[in-house]
Amino acid sequence: MRAADLYRLRRIVDGGHGARIVVDGRACLNFCANDYLGLAGDPRLAAAARGALEQGTGSGAAALVSGYNREHAALEEELADFLRRPRALLFSSGWAANLGVLRALLGREDLLIADELNHASLIDGGRLSGARYVRAAHAQVADFARALEAAPADAGCLRLIATDSVFSMDGDLAPLPALSGLAARHGAALMVDDAHGFGVLGAGGRGALEACGAEADILMTGFGKALGTAGAAIVGSETLIEYLIQRARTWVFSTAPPPALAAATRAALALVRADEGAERRARLRGLIARFRAGAAQLGLPLSDSETAIQPLVLGEAARALAVSRALYERGYWVAAIRPPTVPAGTSRLRITLSAGHAEAEVDGLLAALAAALASP
Ligand SMILES: *Cc1c(COP(=O)(O)O)cnc(C)c1O
């Protein structure tokens, strides 16, 4: 792995998280986090957590035993209300949510049709379920349709389409209205992983489904990205949630998250819903447009993404590492993304923007990129 420039190292961040961080002892502007609204270091979230921490740290047990705290129940209700769906169920991570749902709903006799660029947790959940797994070409609705036509509905069998809403390494959007229509026409179900859309897309911050006016049977909303905390929820029908409470193994057999984390997420959700959330989303959109215009002017190889994820595909892993290091030396932290996270030959800088950045900081990144890319 070392010889192929694929060895991974962790970098130590000191202090809080935000647009400005200290990485391995050097103060940097952070342009690779998923903290799209700049909430991860917000003192109001910390204050909410601190208040709940007065009563203790751990939840003590799984939710079905004694770990289901009032804070968890309130967050579930607020989420369902915000997303205008009947119920929500908290999981300790997006990984746990995706694995738990797919394993609970699908068995050998069922069919899963998944976008080939889906997040690793959807891929592993699908494999673990034992269902027949069809990889559809990225965002190609016709490919999803072919898979459904090749496997007609069978009484008692579930056919599930699963897709990321925003693809995490490319920033492009799934064709959600078309997939939702396709699922409806074929009596199939649609699951959308909105880890990168929740809080940040849609006029109200409800996510990718709101942004494009589509519906899904199963929605995964993560809190570790735009909401700036950690954990996730599955949102859907009464029956879905009740079923998961009986059968989702990553939920049933796992300690409930700390109540203080739910309190922080409730504070984040309140901000996302308030005018401030709309202001932060508008600010982020402005920064994305500014970055794209500046990058186009510099002739940088921009990707086809309108979201806060703006990858610069550089090719070989060694090249991505060298440019990342050159940026770091100029005080910009943009981690290099290499295989197996992305396909071979498409190593990249996964640049992300945040409402926590200033316009001048985006301009500074562009200048640093131009300089770093110019040197061999
Ligand atoms: C981050 C992410 C997850 C996993 O969520 P965690 O809460 O970090 O475990 C799942 N799906 C997608 C698309 C993600 O980007």
- Arithmetic mean of pLDDT, 108-128: 97
| Cα–Cα distances in angstroms (integers) from residue 169 to residues 60, 133, 154, 281, 296, in the given order | 36, 22, 35, 20, 20
- With residue 91 as reference, give the H or E element that holds it: strand 87-91
Residue 168 marked in a binding site: yes
Q: 375 CA to middle of ligand 1, Å?
A: 34
DSSP annotation of 302 reads B
Q: Among 193, 223, 251, which is best to mutate for testing ligand 1, by the most ligand atoms less than 8 A from CB?
A: 193
Residue 375: pLDDT band by 50, 70, 90 thresholds? confident
Q: Check whether 16 has a pLDDT greater than 90.
A: no
CATH architecture group of domain 13-41+276-374: Alpha-Beta Complex (3.90)
Residue 345: pLDDT band by 50, 70, 90 thresholds? very high
- Arithmetic mean of pLDDT, 233-261: 98
Q: Check whether 35 has a pLDDT greater than 90.
A: yes
Give the whole-number percent of the chain exceeding pLDDT 90: 96
Of 72, 186, 196, 357, which residue is the catalytic one? 196
- Arithmetic mean of pLDDT, 335-340: 94
Per-residue pLDDT tens over the stretch 154-191: 888 999 999 999 999 999 999 999 999 999 999 999 99
Residue 358's nearest CA partner among 272, 291, 309, 287 is 287
Per-residue pLDDT tens over the stretch 188-243: 999 999 999 999 999 999 999 999 999 999 999 999 999 999 999 999 999 999 99
Give the whole-number percent of the chain exceeding pLDDT 70: 100
Nearest CA to ligand 1 atom 4: 94
Residues of the chain with CATH 3.90.1150.10: 13-41+276-374
357 classed as catalytic: no
- Arithmetic mean of pLDDT, 38-46: 97
Q: What's the confidence (pLDDT) of residue 156?
A: 84
Residues of the chain with CATH 3.40.640.10: 59-257
Nearest CA to ligand 1 atom 6: 94
Read out DSSP for 216-258? -SEEEEESSSTTSS--EEEEE-HHHHHHHHHH-HHHHTSBPPP
- Arithmetic mean of pLDDT, 343-362: 97
Nearest CA to ligand 1 atom 10: 94
Pocket lining for ligand 1, CB < 6 angstroms: 93-95, 98, 119, 121, 164, 168, 193, 195-196, 222, 224, 232
Of 59, 165, 186, 225, which residue is the catalytic one? 225
Residue 196 marked in a binding site: yes
Average model confidence (pLDDT) across the chain: 97
Q: What number does the ligand 1 atom closest to the CA of 96 have?
A: 9
225 classed as catalytic: yes
Q: 222 CA to middle of ligand 1, Å?
A: 7
Q: Among 32, 90, 92, 95, which is best to mutate for testing ligand 1, by the most ligand atoms less than 8 A from CB?
A: 95
Residue 185 marked in a binding site: no
Q: What is the pTM of this model?
A: 0.97
CATH of domain 59-257: 3.40.640.10
Of 92, 93, 168, 354, which residue is the catalytic one? 168
Per-residue pLDDT tens over the stretch 92-111: 999 999 999 999 999 999 99
Q: What's the confidence (pLDDT) of residue 164?
A: 98
Per-residue pLDDT tens over the stretch 286-321: 999 999 999 999 999 889 999 999 999 999 999 999
The span from the CA of 217 to the CA of 241, in Å, is 11
The span from the CA of 167 to the CA of 139, in Å, is 10
Residue 63: pLDDT band by 50, 70, 90 thresholds? very high
186 classed as catalytic: no
Residue 376: pLDDT band by 50, 70, 90 thresholds? low
Nearest CA to ligand 1 atom 3: 94
